[in-house]
Amino acid sequence: MTIHKIVLSTSEESNTFIGTFHYDRNGTCIQHVGRYMMKDIAGHFVFNSTGAYVGAADIRVVKVNYQEYAFLLINMSKGVNHSKSVNLYGRTRKLTKETTEEFKEFALRQGIPEDMILFLPEKGACVPRDPIPESSVKDRKRRALDKMRKGLSLATS
């Protein structure tokens, strides 16, 4: 399980918005795009997938602080299987202790067992791209650091 980045954007269709998810899967950055249909009630959306993840999700924004976070309740179905999850989306990677405690209480009220409420560790940004072999990354970082050091020595001479 990893932290996901999601970018929401409007669609040409008035009742639809686009969610672009960026996440790490076994060391590779993946990008997944989903279309969400707005329902008649504010904060209520439906997602229907026809790709590799065939299924549907009923999504409700339960609480929102537009500058900081949103609490979501998601009911998913895939064939005869149904599940419920709660998600905490933040505008920043670090949320206040008060926000995480409030989210934990919200999750418990939804019937999520305490041992299933997870706050995942930060693993860095995942920018969609082809994976770069580790040695190339190290070489590039070393060259960039050398360049920066040379620049600093020239500036102080």
Domain of 85, CATH number, reads 2.40.128.20
In a domain, 125, yes or no: yes
Half-sphere exposure for 147 (CA within 13 Å, toward CB)? 6
Encoding tokens for residue 48? 């229907």
On whether the CB atoms of residues 2 and 106 are closer than 8 A, the answer is no
Domain that holds residue 109: 5-132
Q: How confident is the model at residue 113 (pLDDT cuts 50, 70, 90)?
A: very high
Three-state secondary structure readout of 45-97: EEEEECCCCCEEEEEEEEEEECCCEEEEEEEEEECCEEEEEEEEEECCCCCCH
Quick check: 131 and 29 in contact, CB under 8 A?
Answer: yes
**Within a domain: 152:** no
Residue 75 included in any domain: yes
Count of structural domains, the chain: 1
Q: What is the mean pLDDT of residues 126-131?
A: 47
Residue 151 covered by a domain: no
In a domain? residue 150 = no
Assess if residue 143 is contained within a domain.
no
User: Average per-residue pLDDT in the chain?
Assistant: 76
**What global pTM score does this model have?**
0.67
| In-domain check, residue 99 | yes
Residue-wise pLDDT for 15-55, tens only, equals: 887 888 777 777 778 887 888 888 888 888 888 776 656 67
The answer as to whether 147 is a domain residue is no
